[in-house]
Amino acid sequence: MKERQMMHRIGLDQWIVASRAACCAAAMLVASVAFAAKPDTLGDDSVLPELSTRFAVGNETSEIPDFQKHISPLMGRLGCNGRSCHGSFQGRGGFMLSLFGYDFEADHKAMLEADSGRIDTADADESLVLAKPIDEDMHEGGKRFDKDGWEYRVLRTWIAAGANYDAKQRKKLERLEVGPAEILFDQDKQTTSLRAVAHWEDGTREEVTGLCRFHTNDDAIATIDETGIVTCTGVGDTHVVVSYDNAVVPVTVIRPVSKLTGDDYPQLEARTEVDRLIAVKLQKLGIVPSEICSDAEFLRRASLDISGTLPTAADAAAFIADNSSGKRQRKVEELLSSPGYAAWWTTRFCDWTGNSDAQLNNVSPIRQAPTQHWYEWIHRRVEENMPYDEMVEGIVVAQSREEGESYREYCEAMGAACRNGEMDGFADRPGLTYFWARRNFRQTEDRAIGFAYSFLGIRIQCAQCHKHPFDQWSKQDFDEFKNLFQTVGLSQKPRDKEGLEQYEAMMTTMDSGLKGNQLRRELQKEFNKGAVIPFPEIVERPVRGNAKMVRKKGQKARRVVEPPTAKLLGGDYVQLDEMAREKLMQWLRDPSNPYFAKAIVNRVWANYFGSGIVDPVDDLNLANPPSNAPLMDYLADGFVESGYDMKWLHRTIVGSDAYQRSWQTNDTNALDVRNFSHFVPRRLPAETLYDAILVATASDKQAAQLCSSRDGRAVGLASSSPRNNGRGSSYALQVFGRSIRESNCDCDRSEDPNLLQTVYLQNDEDVTDRLYDRNGWLAEQMKSLGQPMLVGDTALAKAKQQGNAARQRQITMLKKRRQELVQTLAKVEKNASSSEEQLKNKTTRMTRQISQINKRIKALQTGEVQDVAAGKSAELDSEQLTSLVNQAYLRTVARYPEPEELSSSLAYIEAGDSVASGVGDLLWALLNTKEFVLNH
């Protein structure tokens, strides 16, 4: 009881902060095993000692430092190519280096720029790159090393030897070996040193610790200095990250939060492999997981997470009363087969793939069709549990026309799929072509970024301009990857001769001068008459190769065109032809792909826990490793082995004790937000919260219908636009942060708390109307019990019932809304870009809304609101009142009230003016508790 009261009292923002804290913890996937640490070879005598030893004062050497291996990393270690120095976009003091120094050729050229004085091979000591860092010449960066230091000697030796670099002889780093791979601390201020060894393709091995860059993912737990010394600063776990050349290696740092480690750790049963892998990490940390949650908590939690809706009051009561074994597993199977499951996960896939009204504008002559088509296409595949890789294949290799289909037949099929009530006809087509047709997907750079977000879970946009600061991707990697997306495009006209003739035949009734919106309106009119109209289609674009002159001995030079190529991220080069997207899909599906399976596994995990094993979920980079790498590997490998079975993934996660743990914490896990030792309460997603309000306030029959269908629910909406009407579901979804789908980034969905969310739940007429709806639960109960119900305008009646303060709040809100409408009306009339008919419709609609608001304000000010219905109400006994309270709790928080909650609720109802007002207030209060707003 105390814990539930705490959840009711604590502010929503505090709970959200606690939940979102997991997003701030470092957690990420090590994407390339090529850079994994293997400390067992670090002590090998064949490893070259550090430059600091080889170039120490008094140690004469004939070695000439290498620009790539030594000079460029040294510049990075000294901070010369950092963001605040010469690595910034504008450079510093006329000298610009590539950020973090990974464009060796450009940096070498900049250092040797003529007349700059930076490098003087004739008199090395006069070189500015030596004079400035020792502070002999004015240097904004201050002194960076001593004249008798090893850094000076390395740079001077390289300059004196000619300051050479051959871009054609670039070395390949096979892996960076860092040890120890895991650091276990047991006290504050404890330190340990890292050692890094570079393994080059030619077999050379060299210790490069002094040339590495280091940073920590959480300095409240561990810090690391420029020499690689790690210092413990607090309890918990994090990673320190080592960077050298194109390698990025994370090292786990752990300091237990309690003394319950090793043999002192309690013996806990791990029912599943998921729980065993989590327990291994928790034992190192001395964290004891919470107990398993109650049946009521599990039912509400799983229903919201799997199917996006509350259980009905009847379902909650039945589940709580069921004492049979295996009921949780059976409930999971039931939820996975429900319409809500398909609807909610379709919504999530629409978020991740970018189903946006705004970005699909003008890609079809029929407005709104693309958004609905997109939703229906995914919904069909989620409902049928199509393997994830096959669904993605339908997106990646999508073609507009099916094999053997003419352009006219394609247009006829698209037209049929756009008829009212037949939007799901598009789902029969094998490919989701709209993915490639979006307005924000026209440039190859945007496609590369969006594709990486959607299917790889990585943020590659930094590499457009420079080496990614925390990953292996360079600008060259980005440029070579984006080339993959040159071959596909949207064409308004078919490219083949027969198709073009059919297109022109369809356009014979059109004015040849029509373009853009005018043409689309005319096509819409023809379509409404039943005519076949042309539709844009996805086409493959030829890509030109690179031409060069080739001369063979004894022959004249001739022009040769090399086939255009692109490169898969971290993979092979592929030839750009009509099969480019098929090659891209083959790479995604390849078991060795380090991203594809893990990206979707991580997103699904985050849906159930509020944070991913890697967090943020779309930021898989080498410096942001998983909080539990073995767990990530197990789930990803199992997902692939299952045949990319989405329901296998759901069952595996939801069936674990980790998911079923209580949100209530103990002394060891109260601060844990990244190791899944307890359930972290989190605010419901916008669609789920809105649907929960619908189910909670609907009659028993309506609630059952909502839970058994996607019709009338927010999770069944294809559109992501807040434009519809400014109020109702559109307004609520916007307030609670529904994904705007402007990009494919998960950041398009907001979980941040704000004042409008509280105002909506407490005062918005949409909520009040649902509470006092004539066909809602409250009216249904009052009718069955012979009790009077508020009549007339329910929003006004509720305001009067709540007293003068509530009435004044309603008046203030209505006046604000009226002012907004007046301002909008003035703008519409002033900047009229619509037709005269459209302008008239807009102004008429807004004028009518203003008039209705004026009537409401007058009624509230004068008190002209109908009171309760006439007639004597029947007396209710305690059993009937108790049943009402129980039902109110079951339909909102899916549990029965505690004894104290029951007694206080009964006392409030009995003291009120009517049963209807008392029960209505109780239901309203429950909707405004943190227990309702949060999934816990």
Pick from 510-514, 590-594, 717-721, 847-851: least confident: 847-851
pLDDT tens profile 290-339: 999 999 999 999 999 999 999 999 999 999 999 999 999 999 999 999 99
- Higher-confidence position of 930 and 462: 930
Q: Say if CB 458 and CB 620 are below 8 A apart.
A: yes
What is residue 471's predicted lDDT score, i.e. its pLDDT?
74
Judged against a pLDDT cut of 80, whether residue 14 lies above it is answered with: no
pLDDT band of residue 256 (cuts 50, 70, 90) is: very high
Quote the crossing angle between the two packed helices 915-927 and 686-697, to the nearest 10°: 160
Segment 183-197 mean pLDDT = 96
Segment 792-811 mean pLDDT = 58
Segment 98-123 mean pLDDT = 80
What is residue 500's predicted lDDT score, i.e. its pLDDT?
94
pLDDT tens profile 752-798: 888 889 989 998 888 988 998 889 999 999 999 988 875 444 444 55
Pick from 39-48, 198-207, 507-516: least confident: 39-48
Among residues 275, 298, 277, 306, which one has the least CA distance to residue 647? 306
What is residue 39's predicted lDDT score, i.e. its pLDDT?
45
Q: Say if CB 55 and CB 153 are below 8 A apart.
A: yes
3-class SS at 247?
A: strand
Q: What are the structural domain ranges in the chain? A: 67-169, 354-457+459-589, 797-867
Judged against a pLDDT cut of 90, whether residue 913 lies above it is answered with: no
Pick from 232-246, 272-286, 606-620, 723-737: least confident: 723-737
Pick from 78-87, 127-136, 753-762: least confident: 78-87
Q: How far apart are CA 784 and CA 811, in angstroms?
A: 34
What is residue 790's predicted lDDT score, i.e. its pLDDT?
54
Judged against a pLDDT cut of 90, whether residue 927 lies above it is answered with: yes
Q: Which two tokens stand for residue 148?
A: 């008798």
Q: How far apart are CA 156 and CA 145, in angstroms?
A: 13
pLDDT band of residue 89 (cuts 50, 70, 90) is: low
pLDDT band of residue 560 (cuts 50, 70, 90) is: low
What is residue 147's predicted lDDT score, i.e. its pLDDT?
85
Among residues 561, 530, 529, which one has the least CA distance to residue 544? 561
pLDDT tens profile 689-710: 999 999 999 999 999 999 999 9
Sheet holding 229-232, edge to edge: 191-193, 229-232, 222-224
- Higher-confidence position of 800 and 370: 370
Other CB atoms within 10 Å distance of the CB of residue 829: 12
pLDDT tens profile 824-846: 777 776 665 555 655 666 677 67
Query: Structure pTM?
Result: 0.85
Segment 139-159 mean pLDDT = 83
Pick from 65-69, 164-168, 609-613, 888-892: least confident: 164-168
Judged against a pLDDT cut of 80, whether residue 288 lies above it is answered with: yes
3-state DSSP helix/strand/coil percent for the chain, to nearest 5? 50, 10, 40
pLDDT band of residue 137 (cuts 50, 70, 90) is: low
Given the DSSP bridges, would you call strands 558-562 and 546-550 parallel, antiparallel or unpaired? antiparallel
Q: How far apart are CA 414 and CA 437, in angstroms?
A: 15
